[in-house]
Amino acid sequence: MTDYLIIPGSRQDYALLIKGGQGGSACGYRNKYLNLANEICDKYGITVVSCAISDEPNPDNKTNQIAEDIALLNETCKSRPKILFMGMSKGASLGCIESSKISQISRLLLINPPLMINLPHICHAAKNFNGEMMTFVFGSEDPSVKESKLLKLHERDNMKVITVPGQDHYFSRDGFNLMTLVEEYLLFDLKG
């Protein structure tokens, strides 16, 4: 069973789905996803669901973790809100690749997806993205920052690649607050 966190909000038009990295928890290292979820819900009134990566083997690849997470989110909201998606590391890879199959996802913030693992699939998804906004963010000290230049080949109005100086794979240096990225790239036109 997947580890998840739900912070219910009052709004029904948008919800945020957070998908962390391999081996992480729904609350995140030092509760960074829990704190982020509470801050977003308090300020914007949207429901936040954070789901850990499932470690259960899936040899037939018959289930889609992102689709399962969205089903939980829809059940929690009792509606089908527009989904804002934030993924870290493997969660960013999964969200990117699956977003083309799930029209309910309107905006994606994809932080440090490991490009050395799924680069062709990620580039294909970025090239074919037709939602509102897909933003890749890489720390300048993340191992995938070099390969991110290949993603830049697909940049356009609704697909951007950003590099944040001085940050590593975990975006944990110098007390970096993920809310900065979420507000700039996901919540930019929602009233807080």
Is the pLDDT at 57 greater than 70? The verdict is: no
Taking residues 174-188, what's their average pLDDT?
Answer: 91
Give this prediction's pTM.
0.94
pLDDT band at 54 (very low <50, low <70, confident <90, very high): confident
Classify the C-alpha dihedral 83-22-64-92 as positive or negative.
Answer: positive
Q: pLDDT digit string (tens) for 129-148?
A: 999 999 999 999 999 999 99
pLDDT at 59: 46
Sorted by where each starts, the structural domains of the chain and their CATH numbers stand as 4-53+64-185 (3.40.50.1820)
Percent of the chain whose pLDDT exceeds 70 = 94
Q: Indicate the pLDDT class of residue 62, thresholds 50, 70 and 90.
A: very low
Q: What is the pLDDT of residue 63?
A: 57
User: How far, in Å, are 81, 114, 188 from residue 41 at the CA level?
Assistant: 15, 29, 15
Could you read off the pLDDT of 4-16 as tens digits, one per residue? Answer: 999 999 998 999 9
Mean per-residue pLDDT for 33-53?
96
